[in-house]
Amino acid sequence: MKKIEAIIRKSKFDEVKKALHAIEVNFFSYWDVTGVGNEKQGHVYRGISYSTSDIQRRYLVIVVTDKFLKRTVDTLIEAAGTGHVGDGKIFISEILEAYRIRTKESGSEAIN
């Protein structure tokens, strides 16, 4: 099992969610986060332009079986990408074990 952590543009979240559901990744968690990166966003307040390095993003955590890893990563890249600086990052790590509390199932049965 693998844990996929993805940081994406908030504006691409609905598209990413639909794409993940289309490949049968139906459960994931997400948070609104603020980060600092290479992209600079400008804000206009009362006609004055301000530049900031604090960028609003959405952070997704998805746990998948090994057979769904490539498919899920490819879907994230396709749905979240714009081709511009600030599209985000994807990190993958190993999950040693998973348990479903309600049924006491473990392993891949716990996440399907």
Which residue blocks in the chain are alpha helix, DSSP H?
Answer: 13-22, 69-80, 108-111
What pLDDT sits at residue 90? Answer: 98
Report percent pLDDT > 70 for the chain: 85
What pLDDT sits at residue 96? Answer: 96
Arithmetic mean of pLDDT, 33-42: 72
> Which CATH fold would you assign to the domain 2-111?
Alpha-Beta Plaits (3.30.70)
What pLDDT sits at residue 43? Answer: 62
Closest CA to 100 of 88, 90, 110: 110
Closest CA to 80 of 5, 1, 17, 3: 17
What pLDDT sits at residue 26? Answer: 87
**3-state DSSP assignment of residue 37:** strand
Arithmetic mean of pLDDT, 61-72: 96
Give this prediction's pTM: 0.84
From the number of C-beta atoms within 10 Å of its C-beta (0-12, 13-18, 19+), residue 39 rates as middle
Domain spans of the chain, in order of start = 2-111
